[in-house]
Amino acid sequence: MSNLTKRTTIYFNPSIHHIIKVKALESSRSISDLVNEAIIHEFAEDAEDLEAFEQRASESSIFFEDLVKGLKADGKI
């Protein structure tokens, strides 16, 4: 085992554990590999969201109530 990896315990819902175990077997990968890939994917999505927030930071904001009122006034809801 590499010094770059850390060990932890994760408790899965039994049905999730079964699904990930089957996927690991079918793909000839370890559960650790699948979990690491899923977490990296989630973090990448978070990074994309943060970038979008930064790009739109200068846009004006609107209160939710005003948005709903405007949609009702336009007959959209």
What's the Cα-to-Cα distance from 19 to each of 5, 9, 24, 34, rounded to whole Å? 24, 18, 9, 11
Is 69 or 3 the better-scoring residue by pLDDT? Answer: 69
Q: Are 24 and 34 in contact (CB under 8 A)?
A: yes
Instruction: State yes or no: pLDDT of 3 exceeds 80.
Output: no
The per-residue pLDDT for 15 is 98
User: Is residue 20 within 8 Å of 35, Cβ to Cβ?
Assistant: yes
pLDDT band with cut points at 50, 70 and 90 for residue 1: low
- 14 burial (CB, 10 Å; 0-12 / 13-18 / 19+) is exposed
- pLDDT at res. 42: 96
Tens of pLDDT, residue by residue over 47-72, are 999 999 999 999 999 999 999 999 99
- Could you say which DSSP state residue 12 is in? P
